[in-house]
Structure 1
């Protein structure tokens, strides 16, 4: 199978490696021509996966048309808030029958649309051509070939199974799911919850606090997902609890690390400067996730508090005090 991966960050690069290791012809598109040249020449991505040897069969290019030519599978791994702008340019180049796979975890600012919805709207692709990949998929660990499971979600289960078979590698085990809404929301909201956990960590709090935030974060993710028609069982699986635990617990998680800086007293701008201008996806998406929840009348107190810390001047201490002063109630 011929595949294209649009986006040469750590996840796009790791996913391209999985596809090559699964036996496919893969071209990785990089936004910067100099990075594409380095990847093609040295079979490494020093900017995003330093020290990882990439398969020599992996091609890399800055030319989107060349990357997409003849592709049967197109995976998109770019920052969620840049998807629409990039897709406008890529849409005319997409092969008309290619399966489109979203590797992104976010909700679009302004529209509150999930990534698959943005793909369908911009490209005109039918929903059954669009799949999403989600789960506890820390890119560096996958690039190191550590055993990992993931979920392929698509409304067309036959297509999901085809993608599952195409992605199966010795260290990468995909499962299928028809619940696109649940898998996407699990991936988007967990970034926000990981910021909250990071903030608590930065304030010096321990595992009880983290476990409480993770569990209550899962509850609000499930409430929002159910209101949008998702299957509640999805949030007990890899795209829900699995992804949430990995992102909230791992030092490799950009969202947790970014939250730790906020909890340690840095402003959003300072944390961004300290991470070389990269803002964690949760800090970008917390506003759109909150907007989505408000549209559907769903209470998401952790998301609301994270948004207030990032954009409304709420202090981390006041955030935790807000949680602890909420009225007591039944857990379920």
Structure 2
């Protein structure tokens, strides 16, 4: 199949490679990135001209402008998907600007360059099927399954609530630790820190687009951050007053 990939950041590069490994033809347009000559299209129109799939891989704040520019070039035999880390706004934009005429679906691949480099298996992808285009949702599921993914169906709001408590908080904590210089020397890091080390590696190298998107574009992230800071403050206060540690136990998950 032919793919037009609009955006060639860290994930765009990894996704292009994954698609090529699966035997698909990829054309990329990103005027802000250095795209290999073999993949580069001269314009958005050139990228999407022969594409059966159009992948929106640009930062979320630029998606509305990109869709407005893209819409006159699209036709009903193409399927448009986004790969953003938040889903409410991208899915709403596609619904408003592509409507019933252009098949579309929202996706969030729960993997990236580090996941692929580590050979994590299976990969996972969240799929938000548009009520206007159930057929596009089915095709998108088949596409990601063919790439070795487990596909999880969620509506955009459920996705964003879950990401606020996982993805957004993970990057929030990691951002603070990186800025403190934590994890730069792992020579004495205990095994309990290794999970955090993976988390820090995911943040390093981000130009800021991903961090900003998962914090600012997710409507539930601010409340999650506030709750985290409140709980951290409460733990800090208990450390100051609880002499024997009885109020500091960390309970296991129910059923374990």
Distance 1:22 1:6, change over 3 A: same
SS of 1:61's partner is coil
1:235: which partner in 2? none
Aligned pairs, how many?
A: 232
Distance 1:188 1:115, change over 3 A: farther
Whether 1:125 aligns to 2:99 is yes
Structure-2 residue corresponding to 1:250: 199
CA contact (8 A) 2:124 2:149 kept: yes
CA contact (8 A) 1:76 1:102 kept: yes
Match of 1:302 in 2: 224
Q: CA deviation at 1:248?
A: 9.3
After TM superposition, list the pairs within 5 Å mapping 1:241-320 onto structure 2: 249-254=198-203, 257=204, 278-289=207-218, 292-293=219-220, 301-304=223-226, 320=232
Unpaired runs of 5+ residues, structure 1, are 42-58, 108-112, 211-245, 258-274, 294-298, 307-315
Among 64, 87, 90, the residue aligned to 1:115: 90
Is the Cα contact below 8 Å between 2:171 and 2:199 reproduced in 1? Answer: no
Structure 2: how far apart are the matches of 1:144 and 1:199?
22
Aligned-partner Cα distance in 2 for 1:94–1:248: 43
User: Normalization by structure 1: what TM-score?
Assistant: 0.55
Distance 1:133 1:247 in 2: 26
The reply to whether residue 76 of structure 1 matches residue 53 of structure 2 is: no
CA–CA separation in structure 1 for the residues paired with 2:91 and 2:160: 8
Contact 2:4 2:28 in 1 (8 A): yes
Determine if contact 2:110/2:124 at 8 Å carries over to the other structure: yes
Partners of 1:247 and 1:166 in 2: CA distance: 32
- Verify the 8 A CA contact 1:4 1:75 in the aligned structure 2: yes
Tell me if 1:195 matches 2:124.
no
Q: Aligned partners of 2:163 and 2:46: how far apart in 1?
A: 30
In the alignment, does 2:88 pair up with 1:166? no
Alignment RMSD (CA, Å): 4.2
For residues 78-128 of structure 1, the C-alpha deviation after alignment (integer angstroms, 9 at most, x for no partner) is: 111111122221221223331111101137xxxxx521111222x233399
Of residues 69, 72, 77 in structure 2, which corresponds to 1:97? 77
Instruction: Determine which structure has more spread, i.e. the larger CA radius of gyration.
Output: 2
1:180-226 residue CA offsets vs partner (Å, 9 max, x unmatched): 4433554566442123321564566999x99xxxxxxxxxxxxxxxx
User: Which residue is equivalent to 1:40?
Assistant: 37
5+ long unaligned stretches in structure 2: 184-188, 239-246, 248-252
